Amino acid sequence: MKKTMLKFCAPLLLLAAPAAVIAQQNKIVKAITVNGSVEFTDPRQEVNKVYLSKDNLKGKPVVVDSCVVSKDNTFSFKIKQDHQGIYIINAMNWDRATFWSDADVKVAMRGYDTARYKVKIPHYNYVEGSYDNNFINLSTLNNELGYRRLIDEYNMEYYAKKATDTTWYDYMKNHKKYNPMREDNNIREEILVKCYADRPVMVYAIRGMAGTEAGEKYDNAMKMLDKLMARYPWLTEAKDLKQTIITNKAQAMRLKSGQPMPAVQYPDADGKLAGLEKYKGKYLLVDFWASWCGPCRQAIPKVKELYSNYKDKGFEVVSISIDTDKNAWKKAMKEEAMPWDQMLSDNKDKTMEQFQFSGIPTMYLVDREGKIIERITGYTEEADAKIKETLNKGAKAAPAQGGAVKMMGF
């Protein structure tokens, strides 16, 4: 055990920076150069562009510059700024890299996805830059490894269940893991936070640490923001982030169990605006998904089974896609042949903010009165059992034919 700990802890010594370096990086940096390259360009495009965005931590990064990828597959930006902050490079809408702008940076990106089956998932691009920039490098890598492990474990369980021989699935279900996936991710995150707790780049992580629930985690995140604002008065992003967290918490309270499901209208499969009013008097599962989301599409057969078993008992489903490619959405709808209504968000970012989710599938189970029963993240066995339990109880308590039904809160 001691040897394991030494192997794990030793690399962290590399995070330490000399006092002179820290003092230099406490200064406000007004200009830097960004040099980058892409290994592959999109052969379908005559002109391949790279976009530079500034993350103001208000909810959506703002594009501040763009350039064309040169013939030698390189690109460059000159950033003039009031103070250093978080920037995002978007290469041809296929690849991304994030960095802290307190020194010149350099990045080699893959660019266009050359795989036969293309899926836009987080990619790790190491950005050469400052000591503070390494916090983003390490955080990004941690998050990507966690995401990939999530997909791997989900797929292994999915295929293990389908196998004739149950040995594999029994092992996965009954064998206790040394570190559960989320715990493994959190351990690495906690160490990183300790190493960089007093650095301005911490705003990059705090936005994901606070959550939307009052409690120790939320209070600690807000205290960290207050300390950053006091130590770095120029860090306006910290003030903006604090307001974003407060706003998100207030919105999350509106989505608690027992609260009315927000009234929304989105274009349906025919392009006509549709809302949730038509489902009054029925139980409703609202499924936020996208064509490119593997877990979303793997959940569809289970939702189909649920729908088939309970549709005659006053249960409905509506899928709301956050696709930005309408053709990809229509293609996925045709392939999946979902027998319930489909809608397409006309503003992905607004929808994700309004319903407080960053990952999909996210579902809301709504009762006959239009009030939220449960929020579901990922369609697990536990979620399936919870929905069935609710619907079975609801079927027994259903009003007699012609009886009064309360209006929904949509």
pTM score: 0.70
Selected residue with higher pLDDT from 175 and 5: 175
Give the chain's length: 410
Q: How far is CA 247 from CA 59, 242, 346, 354, 371, in A?
A: 10, 9, 22, 11, 22
Tokens of 1: 């055990």
Is residue 232 exposed (0-12), middle (13-18) or buried (19+ Cβ within 10 Å)?
buried
Instruction: Assign 49 a pLDDT band (cuts: 50, 70, 90).
Output: very high
Q: Among 7, 9, 26, 8, which Cα is nearest to 17's?
A: 26
What's the pLDDT tens digit per position in 268-282? 988 999 998 889 899
Is residue 143 exposed (0-12), middle (13-18) or buried (19+ Cβ within 10 Å)?
middle
Instruction: Assign 26 a pLDDT band (cuts: 50, 70, 90).
Output: low
Query: Is cis: bond before 339, omega within 30 of 0?
Result: no
Neighbours of 76 (CB within 10 A): 12
pLDDT on residue 217: 83
The class that CATH gives domain 28-125 is: mainly beta
What's the pLDDT tens digit per position in 202-233? 999 997 787 777 678 888 899 999 999 999 99
Selected residue with higher pLDDT from 322 and 22: 322
pLDDT on residue 249: 86
CATH 3.40.50.2000 corresponds to the domain 265-396:
no
In which element (H, E) is residue 33 found? strand 31-40
Domain boundaries, the chain: 28-125, 138-253, 265-396
Q: How far is CA 296 from CA 151, 299, 306, 326, 341, in A?
A: 12, 5, 15, 17, 16
Separation of alpha carbons 205 and 186, rounded Å = 12
What's the pLDDT tens digit per position in 67-124? 999 999 999 999 999 999 999 999 999 999 999 999 999 999 999 988 776 665 557 8
Helices (H), 38-117: none
Separation of alpha carbons 339 and 336, rounded Å = 9
Least-confidence region, from 2-6, 84-88, 144-148: 2-6
